[in-house]
Amino acid sequence: MNKHADIKESMLEKKIWAVIGANNDPDKFGNKIYKRLKAEGYTVFPVNPMYDNVDSDKCYPNLAALPEKPEVLDMVVSPKRGMAFIEEAAQLGIENIWLQPGTYDTELLASIKGKHLTAIQGCVLAALGQ
């Protein structure tokens, strides 16, 4: 197995996740990913400062507000919006970042590397076997 596959498997084995950009629009990936992780038995926290609730669960404005530290962040926001969450993750000791397609650029990847965080790029829905 290659290193990428090992990291992916390692992250999928962790059961406490936060979905950055979770929302209530069933057509958007922030909603699909949030619901799918919940359906798969993960403890999942929605993080989006624009919502009070997602899928009738309390939604949190940032990572510091979460009741429990997630083991993995699933990024479903633009790199520009995601940068602040990467900063916060590093401060809180959250080391695993799952980057959905379109959520990263060279600046964000450099920030993750500079903070010694572990990141994987790809669709979590595909990894779970859509």
CB 75 within 8 A of CB 83: no
**CATH code of domain 3-127:** 3.40.50.720
pLDDT tens for the chain, 130 residues long, are 467 789 999 999 999 999 999 999 999 999 999 999 999 999 999 999 999 999 999 999 999 999 999 999 999 999 999 999 999 999 999 999 999 999 999 999 999 999 999 999 999 999 998 5
- DSSP states along 30-83: HHHHHHHHHHTT-EEEEE-TT-SEETTEE-BSSGGG-SS--SEEEE-S-HHHHH
Q: What residue segments make up the domains of the chain, in order of their start?
A: 3-127
In whole angstroms, what is the distance from residue 15 CA to residue 114 CA? 26
